[in-house]
């Protein structure tokens, strides 16, 4: 138990350390580097320029740099804008899954920015992504959320048109026709030739699917407007829908419109729609033309997959490289800032450090003296116990023998030979007992000569009345055994042999040693009178033996039956 005074000093030291680290943390937070608005504006301007020039990889890179550079607390709108643009670029390049992930990341910033334009745009982007990955229900949900926003009429019409396109893809032509017919009446649509032709064409396509005779009029009307506008993408869509209209009634005319659609989609660089055109061409051709167009279709599919896969990989690489570069820059800036802060705070920290060092040294000294005092106390107590035990032995055993010998010498005529011989026998017994006590408390040799001294100790109990057998002692490499374990073995066997000599009246004693992979096993057996196990209390020698084995993490078992000998088995790890 550490004294209360030492606990108090330790508490003071820890409190000072906590205060220092708290100050350091606050200083670090107060001195975080701030990105300038000019840098963010520069990045966005560069990204917009590349996006306008259709250099999408470069545009994606700079939008991503803007997101990483901007402060997520103060530049929320900049981050939201950059993520929206990145999502649109991925979508336009066919990476719908990547676009969805980027758009989902943008939602948290858009919710904080409270920008209606951004909210409408994110729903539109997600709606298109879900539509392109055939998740029509989610697509309609997004379009409906965008429609419900308080935006201008033109945007609401756009969302209704997109919902109708999803219904058409789901073959819910009745729902689609109802929406297309309603928006065709809108002033914003009729005043805009591009939008008007688009709705006419979409409505004509739906009429085709339900065999409505008005389909031809709507499709040709839309085509006429698009021919005037010279809109390649729109013309391609009109030709595709006319090809579908004539697919069952006039295959030659269907093939003609499909080829015109293919040419216009090629001019507009729309690979997906080129594939749709080729499908219609293949359906209306045979022989060599069928094979030729089929090979062209396969080649175009492979090319489309390769281009889109490269785009996906490129966008993923830009994100990864930018994040890694940002992390490295942050580390460098953090190191630089930390060095500057270290210099600024060094003077104050030195003073506090000296205080801490002083307290630490003081605590070390206090703990040293405390532990030294405790060790000395334990040593004195152990010495006292040892002296008490030796004193008891001298009093209980040796003193009694000396007293009886002195009484014998005073009361007997030592001139007689038999009295003289008996006196000598008494003196010899006293000498033997003195030697035994000396051996029990003498230091134990644990060097390479350990086995020799252990044998000598055991052999000292081998008398004319006691036959002592040792087995397996030399099979164990005692040099590999720890010193404290060798001492424990020596003392335990010594205790057992002393108890045997004093109390058991044994004539035969066996001690065997055995080594396994992990343990040393030692068995002690004698044919003495044994003891009563039920009433046995581990005191004196047996208690000492048990404590020594437990101290070296060993196990001990005592098997004793009155008049049937005494057995002790113990083992300990190597």
Name the burial class of residue 105, with classes exposed (0-12), middle (13-18) and buried (19+) by CB atoms within 10 angstroms of its CB.
middle
Query: What confidence score (pLDDT) does residue 33 get?
Result: 45
| Confidence check: pLDDT of 382 > 70 | no
- Is the separation of the CB atoms in 398 and 429 below 8 Å? no
Pairing verdict, β 508-515 and 467-471: parallel
Q: Which of 88-97, 154-163, 299-308 ranks highest by mean pLDDT?
A: 154-163
Q: In what order do the strands lie in the sheet with 508-515?
A: 467-471, 508-515, 519-526, 566-573, 555-560
Q: Which residues contact 480 (CB under 8 A, 6 or more apart)?
A: 574
3-state secondary structure of 469: strand
| Confidence check: pLDDT of 11 > 90 | no
Q: What mean pLDDT comes out for the span 232-255?
A: 88
User: Average model confidence (pLDDT) for the chain?
Assistant: 81
Comparing 515 with 285, which gets the higher pLDDT?
Answer: 515
Name the burial class of residue 108, with classes exposed (0-12), middle (13-18) and buried (19+) by CB atoms within 10 angstroms of its CB.
middle
Q: Tens of pLDDT along 473-512?
A: 999 999 989 999 999 999 999 889 888 888 888 899 999 9
- Is the separation of the CB atoms in 82 and 66 below 8 Å? yes
Lowest mean pLDDT among 108-122, 284-298, 544-558: 284-298
Residue 391 pLDDT class (50, 70, 90 cuts): low
| Confidence check: pLDDT of 29 > 50 | no
| Confidence check: pLDDT of 247 > 90 | no
| Confidence check: pLDDT of 433 > 90 | no
Q: What mean pLDDT comes out for the span 220-248?
A: 90
Residue 14: alpha-carbon gap to chain centroid: 30
Quote the pTM value: 0.48
- Is the separation of the CB atoms in 437 and 465 below 8 Å? no
| Confidence check: pLDDT of 185 > 50 | yes
Query: What confidence score (pLDDT) does residue 370 get?
Result: 82
Q: What mean pLDDT comes out for the span 303-312?
A: 61
Q: Which of 114-123, 257-266, 317-326, 432-441 ranks highest by mean pLDDT?
A: 114-123
Comparing 331 with 537, which gets the higher pLDDT?
Answer: 331
What's the CA gap between 571 and 521, in Å, rounded? Answer: 4
Please check whether the two domains, 152-225 and 445-573, share a CATH topology: no
Any idea where the domains of the chain sit in the sequence? 42-151, 152-225, 230-320, 369-442, 445-573
Provide long-range contacts, Cβ within 8 A and 24+ apart, for 310-313. Answer: 311/56, 311/90, 311/93, 311/94, 311/95, 312/90, 312/95, 312/98
Q: Which of 355, 365, 348, 368 is nearest to 14 (CA)?
A: 355
- Is the separation of the CB atoms in 531 and 500 below 8 Å? no
CATH of domain 42-151: 1.25.40.10
Residue 379 pLDDT class (50, 70, 90 cuts): low
Lowest mean pLDDT among 84-88, 346-350, 397-401, 464-468: 397-401
Name the burial class of residue 198, with classes exposed (0-12), middle (13-18) and buried (19+) by CB atoms within 10 angstroms of its CB.
buried
pLDDT > 90 in the chain, percent? 34
Name the burial class of residue 509, with classes exposed (0-12), middle (13-18) and buried (19+) by CB atoms within 10 angstroms of its CB.
buried
Residue 222 pLDDT class (50, 70, 90 cuts): very high
Comparing 494 with 276, which gets the higher pLDDT?
Answer: 494
Question: Six-digit token pair at 372?
Answer: 């030294």
Q: Tens of pLDDT along 61-86?
A: 999 988 888 888 888 999 999 999 99
Pairing verdict, β 508-515 and 519-526: antiparallel
Query: What confidence score (pLDDT) does residue 417 get?
Result: 78
**CATH architecture, domain defined by 445-573:** 2-Layer Sandwich (3.30)
Query: What confidence score (pLDDT) does residue 82 get?
Result: 92
Name the burial class of residue 244, with classes exposed (0-12), middle (13-18) and buried (19+) by CB atoms within 10 angstroms of its CB.
buried
What's the CA gap between 472 and 482, in Å, rounded? Answer: 19
Residue 435 vs residues 428, 440, 505: alpha-carbon distances, Å: 11, 9, 21
Q: Which of 101, 69, 66, 95 is nearest to 82 (CA)?
A: 66
Lowest mean pLDDT among 141-145, 284-288, 366-370, 538-542: 538-542
Helix (H), strand (E), coil (C) string for 41-92: HHHHHHHHHHHHCCCHHHHHHHHHHHHHHCCCCCCHHHHHHHHHHHHHHHHH
DSSP per-residue string spanning 77-144: HHHHHHHHHHHHHHHHTT-HHHHHHHHHHHHHHHHHHT-HHHHHHHHHHHHHHHHHTT-HHHHHHHHH
Q: Which residues contact 244 (CB under 8 A, 6 or more apart)?
A: 205, 208, 254, 280
What's the CA gap between 233 and 136, in Å, rounded? Answer: 24
According to the CATH classification, is domain 152-225 in 1.25.40.10?
yes
Q: Which of 76, 140, 143, 79 is nearest to 113 (CA)?
A: 76
Residue 305 pLDDT class (50, 70, 90 cuts): low
Query: What confidence score (pLDDT) does residue 49 get?
Result: 94
Residue 32 pLDDT class (50, 70, 90 cuts): very low
Q: What mean pLDDT comes out for the span 505-523?
A: 93
| Confidence check: pLDDT of 359 > 60 | yes
Q: Tens of pLDDT along 525-537?
A: 999 887 765 555 4
Query: What confidence score (pLDDT) does residue 306 get?
Result: 62
What's the CA gap between 274 and 257, in Å, rounded? Answer: 13
Residue 31 pLDDT class (50, 70, 90 cuts): very low
Query: What confidence score (pLDDT) does residue 28 get?
Result: 47
Q: What mean pLDDT comes out for the span 127-154?
A: 93
Q: Tens of pLDDT along 192-218?
A: 999 999 999 999 999 999 999 899 999
């Amino acid at each position: 138990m550490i004294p209360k005074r030492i606990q108090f000093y330790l508490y003071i030291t820890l409190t000072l350390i906590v205060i220092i680290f708290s100050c350091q943390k606050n200083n670090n937070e107060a001195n975080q580097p701030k990105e300038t608005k000019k840098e963010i504006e520069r990045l966005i301007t560069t990204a917009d320029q590349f996006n306008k020039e259709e250099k999408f990889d470069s545009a994606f890179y700079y939008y991503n740099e803007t997101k990483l550079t901007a402060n997520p607390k103060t530049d929320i709108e900049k981050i939201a804008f950059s993520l929206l643009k990145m999502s649109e670029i991925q979508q336009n390049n066919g990476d719908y899954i990547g676009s969805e992930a980027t758009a989902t990341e943008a939602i948290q910033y858009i919710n904080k920015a409270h920008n209606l334009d951004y909210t409408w745009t994110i729903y539109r982007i997600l709606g298109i992504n879900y539509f392109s990955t055939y998740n029509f229900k989610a697509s309609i949900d997004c379009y409906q959320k965008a429609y419900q926003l308080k935006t201008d009429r033109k945007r609401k019409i756009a969302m209704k048109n997109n919902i109708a396109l999803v219904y058409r893809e789901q073959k819910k032509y009745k729902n689609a026709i109802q929406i297309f017919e309603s928006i065709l009446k809108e002033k914003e649509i009729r005043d805009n030739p591009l939008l008007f032709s688009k709705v006419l064409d979409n409505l004509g396509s739906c009429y085709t699917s339900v065999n409505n005779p008005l389909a031809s009029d709507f499709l040709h009307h839309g085509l006429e407007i698009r021919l005037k506008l010279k809109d390649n993408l729109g013309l391609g869509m009109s030709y595709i829908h006319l090809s579908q209209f004539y697919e069952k009634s006039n295959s030659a005319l269907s093939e003609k419109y499909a080829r015109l659609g293919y040419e216009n989609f090629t001019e507009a660089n729309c690979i997906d729609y080129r594939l749709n055109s080729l499908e219609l061409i293949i359906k209306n051709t045979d022989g060599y033309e069928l094979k030729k167009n089929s090979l062209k279709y396969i080649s175009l599919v492979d090319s489309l997959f390769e281009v889109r896969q490269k785009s996906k990989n490129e966008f993923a690489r830009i994100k990864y490289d930018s994040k890694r570069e940002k992390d490295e820059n942050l580390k460098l800036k953090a190191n630089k800032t930390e060095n500057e802060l270290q210099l600024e705070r060094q003077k104050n920290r030195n003073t506090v450090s000296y205080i801490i060092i002083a307290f630490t040294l003081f605590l070390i000294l206090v703990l040293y003296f405390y532990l030294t005092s405790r060790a000395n106390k334990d040593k004195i107590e152990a010495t006292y116990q040892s002296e008490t035990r030796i004193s008891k032995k001298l009093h209980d055993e040796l003193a009694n023998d000396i007293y009886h010998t002195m009484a014998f010498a005073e009361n007997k005529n030592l001139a007689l030979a038999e009295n003289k011989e008996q006196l000598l026998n008494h003196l010899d017994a006293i000498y033997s007992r003195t030697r035994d006590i000396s051996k029990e408390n003498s230091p134990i040799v644990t060097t390479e000569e350990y086995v020799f001294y252990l044998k000598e100790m055991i052999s000292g109990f081998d008398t004319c009345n006691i036959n002592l057998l040792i087995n397996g002692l030399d099979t164990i490499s005692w040099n590999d055994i720890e010193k404290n374990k060798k001492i424990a073995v020596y003392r335990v066997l010594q205790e057992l042999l002393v108890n045997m000599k004093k109390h058991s009246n044994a004539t035969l004693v066996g001690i065997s040693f055995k080594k396994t992979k992990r343990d040393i096993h030692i068995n002690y057996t004698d044919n003495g009178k044994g003891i009563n196990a039920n009433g046995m209390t581990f005191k004196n020698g047996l208690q000492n033996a048990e404590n020594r084995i437990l101290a070296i993490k060993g196990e001990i078992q005592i098997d004793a039956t009155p008049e049937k000998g005494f057995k002790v088995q113990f083992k300990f790890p190597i």
